[in-house]
Amino acid sequence: MLIIPEDRDASQGLLGMLPNELVLMIREAYPASDLVFHARFDQLSEHVPRLYDADTDFWRRLCYSNGIGCLKNEESRMMNWKALALECELHTRICYQPGCGEAKLSENTTWTSNRLRQKEPIVTVRASGQSVKDTRPYSSHDDLNQHIIALRSFACFPPVDNMQVNLFTTTTPSLCVNNVSGATVHDIQDGINIVEQYEYTLSTLDLY
């Protein structure tokens, strides 16, 4: 017989009435790297966050395992990693860019499983007379600053704290990007702005 703890509130639904042991079993049935699940599960009931927040490093590990890091001017120990994870989860519901959203999170997690990324074939299906570009449910020229997952993704996997980037420009052939928490796409964009001495904003098209 299931015994409902006395401190549980029936208004929170079934999940809010379950003992912590069963809630933990549900949580642990999903991979520790599944950011979308854990961010949503955390918000299902008022007492669930206490189970997550007991592990003060959980949200940082979750973000890192999804390839999401700090920006150069941020300190890891000062970051609200839970807020960042929840913001990323929210972005997965509204972003359909292959270089961002849930697709990007899924791609980022492959680096922790030691699997090489397969090259996509040039043609996967027979094309119709309509242009493939015309059927895209997204713009390939979106401002990267509007895509938190793509912007905060590590620039390479595994992440490194400094990297040399070739620009192939006449003024500056390359730039050095540094971030002790792991260089991100945003760091590269900032580096270009500094060495080229003008405001340059990457678009999602630049991720391909």
- Check residue 174 and report its DSSP letter: E
Contact at 8 Å (CB) between 138 and 147?
A: no
Q: Write the CA distances from 94 to 59, 88, 132, 148, integer angstroms.
A: 22, 10, 21, 12
- Please say if the pLDDT value at position 80 is more than 90: yes
Confidence of residue 174 (pLDDT cuts 50, 70, 90): confident
pLDDT in tens, 35-67: 999 999 999 888 888 888 888 899 999 999 999
Rounded mean pLDDT of 172-186? 85
> Where in 57-189 does DSSP place strands (E)?
162-166, 174-178
Q: Which of 153, 152, 69, 53 has its CA nearest to residue 107?
A: 153
Terminal Cα distance for the chain, rounded: 55
d(CA 204, CA 142): 6
The pLDDT tens digits of the residues spanning 136-166 come to 555 556 677 888 999 999 988 888 899 888 7
User: Residues 2-27: pLDDT tens digits?
Assistant: 444 555 555 556 776 788 888 889 99
Q: Backbone phi, then psi, for 143, in 5-degree steps?
A: -65, 125
CA 201 to chain centroid? 20
| Structure-model confidence comparison of residues 169 and 178, the more confident one | 178
d(CA 160, CA 64): 12
